[in-house]
Amino acid sequence: MTQPTKYVLLIVLYLLVSISFILFIDQDFTLPALILLTGLFITIIFLLGIRFLSQKTEKKSLEISNEISASYHQVESLFSIYSALEIDNILPPFRGWAISPDFAALILSKMKEKNPEYVLECGSGISTILIAYFMKNNKRGHLYSFEHNKQYAKATQKRLKKHGLEKYATILDTELIDHTINDNSWKWYDAKQLKQDLKFDLVMIDGPPYQLQEKARYPALPLLDNYLNPGAVILVDDCSREQDNEVINDWISEFENYDSQWFQTEKGAYILTKKV
């Protein structure tokens, strides 16, 4: 029962009892009875109000506590990023549409583990800069980044130049084209822009936008599987969203040669590993 409903019922009850006192109690006792009833009514309303405010305060305190804890975790991840890389300039903003620091830290931990020669990402941004920095610091590797938004592609290319990272990353400025997978039509990047002999050890998926179509990121694995070396890892962001979580489930059921692992990041993440 909601708080307003409780108040309405109390008022109705108060009025009914008051009318009963006036009609059925001796006139000498009516006024004292009404005063006593009113005092009791006010006391009950006051106690319900105190309880309601206490519950609201407790809920709000818990929300604030969770937000502080989440923000602390993001700051902690941000420090680990700066300690892991020799960064020469100010990084673009994290969170929002961009990846969060905890997912960025997860990418870098897998980069360190795999030490990949070639990396592919779907959707450019802050991740492009961080992966390119890792390769520059490690003096190894090259990143290919699919980007369908020309404005984002230009912005990322400009940032790469600003940070002196152009030689470590190639922005594949491609429109989303039609693909047929299992008799269904999908919009996805033009994978033909990749050389057939390229093999990737790490793939980061943060695009295309989920608003494009239902399960917008599904085509990634069917179209990229042949480009992945045994042992390659796929990092997928935004898996707290229902449709992205469903994409992972579809992949796992259709591709038996991949293991999956969930990571509790701000937006939810999965890592799929291609079996050797």
Give 259's pLDDT tier (boundaries 50, 70, 90). very high
Spatial separation of the C-alpha atoms in residues 266 and 73, rounded to whole Å: 9
∠ CA(225), CA(230), CA(233), 5° rounding?
Answer: 70
β pairing state of 228-236 and 118-122: unpaired
pLDDT digits (tens, 9 = 90+) for 132-177: 999 999 999 999 999 999 998 999 999 999 999 999 999 998 889 9
pLDDT digits (tens, 9 = 90+) for 90-138: 887 786 677 899 999 999 999 999 999 999 999 999 999 999 999 999 9
Distances (CA, A) of 177 to 180, 187, 262: 10, 5, 30
Spatial separation of the C-alpha atoms in residues 3 and 74, rounded to whole Å: 37
Q: Transcribe 248-266 into DSSP letters.
A: HHHHHHH-TTEEEEEE--S
Side chain identity at 198, as an amino acid letter? L
pLDDT digits (tens, 9 = 90+) for 188-209: 999 888 887 899 999 999 888 8
Side chain identity at 212, as an amino acid letter? L
Identify the CATH class of 87-274: alpha beta
pLDDT digits (tens, 9 = 90+) for 25-76: 666 666 666 676 677 777 777 777 777 777 777 776 666 665 666 676 788 8
Distances (CA, A) of 111 to 72, 236, 253, 263: 24, 14, 27, 16
pTM assigned to the model:
0.74
pLDDT at 8: 67
Asked if 200 and 120 count as a contact pair (C-beta separation under 8 A), the reply is: yes
